[in-house]
Amino acid sequence: NAGVMQNPRHLVRRRGQEARLRCSPVKGHSHVYWYRQLPEEGLKFMVYLQKENIIDESGMPKERFSAEFPKEGPSILRIQQVVRGDSAAYFCASSQNGWTEAFFGQGTRLTVV
Amino acid sequence: GENVEQHPSTLSVQEGDSAVIKCTYSDSASNYFPWYKQELGKGPQLIIDIRSNVGEKKDQRIAVTLNKTAKHFSLHITETQPEDSAVYFCAAITRRGSQGNLIFGKGTKLSVKP
């Protein structure tokens, strides 16, 4: 859905650098989900946020990964000290109330070199 | 937590034939079941959904059925066309209060041969 904007679309980072992935949800949506996808694989849940709150982060590694969804501005997925294994497509989805239609952005493809 | 199983992982059909993809879920409290289509290099696109108070929903060539007792739901595509070739994901949401978590199956790669 064109309403969910992710940027950048492609991101290249060297090992040890930080990656910041941004997701602007559909206007009026206050629930955001982040997923990770490896080539030829499914969508692996990482974290579920509601404005200013983390609802479920059970799918997100405890080390190096963090996410936020501030009152103002986009949701940010931050990966510190990236490693080659972090290379993947990261998708976010937004929902108005958490239990109805969720729409995805086009993803950020992270490549760690 | 919720677990969603999806079968088959790959499906090849001739143009004009029907395609059926099946999913099962584990949490009887799940109450919303969307289907997504993902084309190469793009984000998943919501194509149809069904709520737990409905047994079947149809939108042109695609339909979804839900069996709450058996905890399974299926996507049916009739008169398939080459542009239907993509990866299809089923998902389930369990609403708890003001929140709901969206859990996906592993996907089905559909190939429609002209």
Q: Is A53 on the interface with B (CB under 8 A)?
A: no
Question: How far is B71 from chain A, CA to nearest CA, in Å?
Answer: 18
Residue B11 to residue B17: CA distance in whole angstroms = 12
Q: E strands of chain A, at which residues?
A: 5-7, 10-13, 19-24, 31-37, 43-50, 53-56, 65-68, 75-79, 88-95, 102-104, 108-112
Phi, psi of B84 (to 5 degrees): -80, -10
pLDDT in tens, A54-94: 998 988 999 999 999 999 999 999 999 999 999 999 999 99
Sequential pLDDT tens for chain B (114 residues): 778 999 999 999 999 999 999 999 998 888 899 999 999 989 999 999 998 888 999 999 999 999 999 999 999 999 999 999 999 999 998 776 667 778 899 999 999 999
User: Tokens 């950020």 — which residue?
Assistant: A108
Residues of chain B found within 8 Å of residue A101, distances taken between Cβ atoms = 34, 46, 49
> What is the pLDDT, as a whole number, of residue A101?
86
What are residue A22's phi and psi, to 5 degrees? -115, 145
Q: How many CB atoms lie within 10 A of CB B46?
A: 16
- For B86, the closest chain A residue by CA position comes to A40
CA distance A98 to chain B (A): 5
What's residue A1's pLDDT? 45
Give the C-alpha separation, A76 to A20, whole Å: 7
